Amino acid sequence: MPRSKKTRLRYRVAVLGSGSWATAIIKIISSNLEHIHWWVRSPEAAEEIAKYGHNPKYLSSVFINPEEVKVNTDIKAVVSKADYVIIVTPSAYLHKSLEPLKRSQLNKKKIILAVKGIVPETMQLISDYMQTQFGVPLENLSIISGPSHAEEIAQEKFTFLTAASTNLELAETVAKFFTNRYCRTSVTNDMMGAEMAIVLKNIYALGAGIYSGLGYGDNFIAAYVANCLKEMKHFVSAVYPNEARHISDSVYLGDLLVTAYSTYSRNRLFGIMIGHGLSVRVSLLELRMVSEGYTACRCVHEFNKKYLVNIPIVETIYGILYENNNVSSEMKRIAEHFV
């Protein structure tokens, strides 16, 4: 059950972003928090939410109490009213969205990243970007991750989340924000590993969609996902060594599985269109949503030039998306090396 108004936590929290996941996050934290401010870019959407309590474009079935969640199109005003800022703007648009903000407006806040991907303008993980661009100390950064799909949150289906931060006290506070009747949230200090795994799983889900579009069956795709997990572990361990990491945890394996298999997965759907023979450009237009895996693939390719880790699945998908390599022959070639 939601907390009563008297027992709600009095942390002042801002949410930046107005898509499906942002709407789902508003739904979750509304059951726990007393002070929520929501930045919505579109004036039309903000007016609809304030007037009727529903996001007109995303998860419109979710009711948002406009008396409890204050909606505003002024990002500076929203941030100024909060001590904790949850960033849910897609990574492809993050740099532009945060452009109006000065370092001094964010560098003393606690930042919770619910963003998946890498900032394309700077080729940085979101946590690195927040440190270098806004001066946010590492100990003030955390992430919230799945396995989770916004559509199931809207239906209040039982979901496991993970709050990650190098500052365990912050991770535990974030877990309180995201724990309710249908969400159970655990904590980890492996923030960098979890963040990179989030980036990779979107790329691998895109690949699962390509194989599905090409006509490969469940037996093969299960083997493909197992090999993706192996590659993920190899890459994350090479870039961010951590002996305490368990790749079988839900923040790694679980999030990979749900993104690779779920019908709600945008990345999987995008891959299916590629597998069916549509061009990358047409597939992006047909999707009508952000495919984080598409941008992430280019970013990881560039990011890995520093580390030179062997990640053949990612590089194969990169070649298809950005170098116009033949889809069928390339995916068949890489499959020959699976175990």
The HSE-up count of residue 120 (CA atoms within 13 Å, CB side) is 13
- Known catalytic residues are 201
Sorted by sequence, the CB contacts under 8 Å of residue 151 that are 6+ apart come out as 20, 59, 264
